[in-house]
Amino acid sequence: MDNLVRMHERKRLYIGLLGASLLIVSMLTVAIWYLVFSPEKSVVYRLVLLALAAVLIIAILLAGFGLAGIVLTIIQSRQFSILQGPMRVALNTFFPLALALGKIFRIDMDRIKGSFIEVNNGLVNARGVKIEPAQLLLLVPHCLQNSECDIKVTNNIDNCRRCGKCGVNEILNLRDRYGIKVGMATGGTLARKYVREYRPKAIVAIACERDLTSGILDANPIPVLGITNLRPNGPCFNTHFSPDRLDDAIKFFVRSGCDGS
């Protein structure tokens, strides 16, 4: 119950920043609209301002409907197909502005990005996507590997000796149990290569908040369930993950009867 409450609180942060971003853009549009009718400005200048105001008004309307769609989807846990486009505008287009607001109010960037991930996961859960195991790609970071291991598994995860000293062995166990695709990435470039190579219909990704947010935005419109890694030794060094959360995420996408049981 406490975990559920914390997840809702985390979602409220990004949704609140989206609402504040929308308000700021609306105020900017009002100011531009006022300048359009200023008699001191030239006709060309006013036409440029009018075009800018029109673009902002369209963006505001789309983002407004998108924000409403996000809230409704999360509350009712069901998809609203007609609002998918506006929701993408609200989530993706206003993301940089939400981060900028967070910096102004000195909110930790990882908190904002973690909230974005929770909102994204909530929207993906509402879609109820079901696929075959081979259509699911599990992306994992190279920092899961034990730093003292001398075996290179980035290019070929099957090089792992499966000694059990790090999470790579558990990843391989899940791959073998479910029959899913797995890619170990050192960054966004290699992650995108795996996406192009395997052409998945859904993705489960383990990474830090920064890499997850950029990956979710890059993969759009492919649904991505993001799982933030555990960093007891600091960032990018001998990281871990929650096996239960990962197993639940895989089961969410995999069709019934193909769940490895």
Question: Rounded to an integer, what distance in angstroms lies between the CA atom of residue 139 and that of residue 182?
Answer: 6
Judge whether 143 and 32 are in contact, CB under 8 Å: no
Which pLDDT does position 14 carry in this prediction?
A: 94
**How many structural domains are present in the chain?**
2
Indicate whether 260 belongs to any domain: no
Nearest CA to 210 out of 237, 190, 229, 194 is that of 229
Q: Which residues, at least 6 apart from 177, have a Cβ–Cβ distance to it below 8 Å? A: 260
Which pLDDT does position 2 carry in this prediction?
A: 40
Indicate whether 196 belongs to any domain: yes
Indicate whether 259 belongs to any domain: no
What CATH number is associated with residue 213?
3.40.50
Residue listed under structure tokens 């993705």:
203
Which pLDDT does position 260 carry in this prediction?
A: 58
Question: Rounded to an integer, what distance in angstroms lies between the CA atom of residue 55 and that of residue 185?
Answer: 38
Same domain flag for 168 and 117: no
Same domain flag for 147 and 121: no
Which pLDDT does position 261 carry in this prediction?
A: 54
Ranges of residues in the chain with a pLDDT under 50 are 1-6
Q: Which residues, at least 6 apart from 6, have a Cβ–Cβ distance to it below 8 Å? A: none
Indicate whether 261 belongs to any domain: no
Which pLDDT does position 1 carry in this prediction?
A: 43
Indicate whether 148 belongs to any domain: yes
Nearest CA to 126 out of 80, 189, 62 is that of 80
Nearest CA to 90 out of 13, 17, 6 is that of 17
Same domain flag for 64 and 155: no
Residue 89: give the domain boundaries: 2-126
Same domain flag for 51 and 159: no
Which pLDDT does position 37 carry in this prediction?
A: 80
Phi and psi for 149 in degrees, rounded to 5? Answer: -75, 135
Same domain flag for 100 and 145: no
Question: Rounded to an integer, what distance in angstroms lies between the CA atom of residue 234 and that of residue 168?
Answer: 18
Q: How far is CA 137 from CA 58, 184, 242, in A?
A: 36, 11, 18
Which pLDDT does position 62 carry in this prediction?
A: 92
Which pLDDT does position 91 carry in this prediction?
A: 86
Residues 5-40 pLDDT 10s: 445 558 899 999 999 999 999 999 999 888 888 777
Indicate whether 218 belongs to any domain: yes
